[in-house]
Structure 1
Amino acid sequence: MTLLTVDDVVVEYTRGRTRFRAVDGVSISIAEGETLGLVGESGSGKTTLGRAVLGLVTPESGTVHFRGQDITSRTRALRRSLARQIQVVFQDPYTSLNPMLSIGDILAEPLRAQGATRNDARRRIVELLDQVHLPAGSISRVAREFSGGQRQRIAIARALAVRPSLIVCDEPVSALDLTTQLRVLELFKEIQESTGVAYLFISHDLAVIRAISHRVAVLYRGKLVEHGSAEAITATPADPYTRRLLMSAPVPDPVEQARRRAERHELLVAGT
């Protein structure tokens, strides 16, 4: 069943005296329990589209529907009700958490906002820490005591606290080293299998998108240039821009890496 539908959305910004189109008529959908990978370089519009889904920006035109309800323009009451259903994990685990608050306080905040009692919140926090593979003793420690990977696990737990149906993941592993990236991606998949939550997973890295996604949408300068299964998009991309993204992904084989670098250079020289 379709959970989220973005239909022909246009988002514009003003920069000085110039009006520019950050998202230009993009349409995507996400089914319940599915991961849609949204990939593109910086400036492609992928984060802006995520912000439109979250209600942080209002589209100039087009619509966003969640479970069939038009949520494009949101009243305060609608925002409050959607907070239980749509959550977010941001890019930087060092700035997305208050470093002076205890983990218990950070995780209790969304629960108390939804009316949970102190005891209910405490029980749920213990469950969440177990779900993201952090010890129960973490509840009394402050965020600054944790590594980047651990902080991102805390951010994931915070997003899961109110049992949402959809989480917008905005470059959630880009600030982490490669080994930690892999562990956090595996955690995302494990959580999806156990809870059925859907992800809009935003990244500039096609290798990351390939590892996590069921389907992939490729954005270039605000436009959707390619859309399909993760296997098809990452194995045999049709659009030259997607091929450039694929060639940009590092591989452990130096010969293959050199071949990819040469192929990407040829695509750039060709002006594609």
Structure 2
Amino acid sequence: MNQPMPVNQQSGQPLLDIQDVIVEYPARGFRAKPFRALQGVSLDVQRGECVGLVGESGSGKTTLGRAVLGLAPVTAGKVLFRGQDIAHANRATRRELAADIQVVFQDPYTSLNPSLTIEQILAEPLTVRKTHRADAQKRIRDLFEMVRLPADSGSRLPREFSGGQRQRIAIARALALKPALVVCDEPVSALDLSTQARVLGLFKDIQEQTQVAYLFVSHDLEVVRHISHRVAVMYRGEIVEFGDGDQVTARPQHPYTQKLFYAAPIADPDAQAQRREERHRLLAAQAP
């Protein structure tokens, strides 16, 4: 897969600016300390840029995405969207933000209402915004073309599509209101490798056409390498490395990122064996 097209880094205000965000969850038990999922995380996303957020399960990457969406409580810090702090936005503000901030979840089937046709699913956000019926129909046709689904898909139900096609439907729904930012929460991890490549290519093509920005959450360093302009690596609720996508994914500096790099499988058996040895060396060096 080709590398993502370069994005014009603007000298002005970032689209999304996360500043020293802390997320804590109450702990069970008398006088138990709250669990701190994020420990002062900061990163930014420019307009038209894809920032990859990578880490193992439990690293806090999904929590950060949920904090941007208002689905996780922000204990301290700021989440600035176009300069406005939305960390503690009320429901009315969140409804207004839905036109500008959307999400694509990991499982495309559970995120789609199984009893609605695809046309009804895509029309729902447009109806909420009181879009004229004729304009909504045109937008749905444009979305089918954008995500490369047959024009007659509207009358069918989600169960009639494959996993990759269902994820395309979920992407189309996220794009229905022409958002400025899409939070992608492990959007290809439930797909096979060949389907992953096609969906990643679709994400890149859509970004080139629309200049939408992505916060792309994944556990796979190889996946974010192909789509991200910059990559942030999370470990135990902190960002341990953040920089140019090529640098972070091909020449990582932090030991944790290096472990992720060496854990990624490659086709060459000799090179894979060498990677395995390097990973064991790193693990042994960091053992208590």
Which band: TM-score by shorter chain? over 0.9
Query: How much does 1:215 deviate?
Result: 0.2
Contact 2:24 2:73 (8 Å CA) reproduced: no
Match of 1:204 in 2: 219
Match of 1:257 in 2: 272
Q: Does 1:69 align with 2:81?
A: no
From 234, 255, 260, the equivalent of 1:219 is: 234
Contact 2:39 2:238 (8 Å CA) reproduced: yes
C-alpha distance in structure 1 between counterparts of 2:117 and 2:95, whole Å: 25
Match of 2:23 in 1: 11
From 165, 171, 174, the equivalent of 1:150 is: 165
From 65, 70, 78, the equivalent of 1:55 is: 70
Q: TM-score, normalised by structure 1?
A: 0.98
**What secondary structure sits across from 1:156 in the alignment?**
helix
- Structure 1's consecutive aligned runs of 4 or more residues displaced over 6 angstroms after TM superposition are none
C-alpha distance in structure 2 between counterparts of 1:266 and 1:113, whole Å: 55
Q: Does 1:131 align with 2:143?
A: no
- Unpaired runs of at least 5, structure 1: none
Query: How much does 1:101 deviate?
Result: 1.4
**What secondary structure sits across from 1:134 in the alignment?**
coil
- Counterparts of 1:13-52 in structure 2, within 5 Å, are 13-17=25-29, 18=32, 19-52=34-67
Counterpart amino acid of residue 112 in structure 2? L
Match of 2:252 in 1: 237
C-alpha distance in structure 1 between counterparts of 2:263 and 2:116, whole Å: 39
Residue identity (%): 63
Contact 1:7 1:27 (8 Å CA) reproduced: yes
Query: How much does 1:16 deviate?
Result: 2.5
C-alpha distance in structure 2 between counterparts of 1:215 and 1:39, whole Å: 11
**What secondary structure sits across from 1:270 in the alignment?**
helix
Residue deviations 1:154-191, cap 9 Å, x none? 00000000000000000000000000000000000000
Residue deviations 1:208-259, cap 9 Å, x none? 0100000000000001100100011012111000000111111111111111
C-alpha distance in structure 2 between counterparts of 1:94 and 1:255, whole Å: 39
Q: Does 1:87 align with 2:102?
A: yes
C-alpha distance in structure 1 between counterparts of 2:264 and 2:166, whole Å: 26
Contact 1:11 1:60 (8 Å CA) reproduced: yes
C-alpha distance in structure 1 between counterparts of 2:98 and 2:228, whole Å: 24
Contact 1:59 1:72 (8 Å CA) reproduced: yes
C-alpha distance in structure 1 between counterparts of 2:92 and 2:108, whole Å: 29
Query: How much does 1:15 deviate?
Result: 4.1
Contact 1:100 1:144 (8 Å CA) reproduced: no
Residue deviations 1:45-83, cap 9 Å, x none? 000000000111121100000001111111222111100
Counterpart amino acid of residue 232 in structure 1? Q
Contact 1:185 1:212 (8 Å CA) reproduced: yes
Counterpart amino acid of residue 276 in structure 2? R
C-alpha distance in structure 2 between counterparts of 1:25 and 1:258, whole Å: 37
- Unpaired runs of at least 5, structure 2: 1-9
Match of 2:208 in 1: 193
Counterpart amino acid of residue 35 in structure 1? C
Contact 1:171 1:202 (8 Å CA) reproduced: yes
Match of 2:5 in 1: none
Counterpart amino acid of residue 228 in structure 2? S
Moved more, 76-85 or 43-52: 76-85
Provide the aligned C-alpha RMSD in A. 1.0
**What secondary structure sits across from 1:258 in the alignment?**
helix
How many correspondences in the alignment? 272
Counterpart amino acid of residue 18 in structure 2? V
Contact 1:13 1:21 (8 Å CA) reproduced: yes
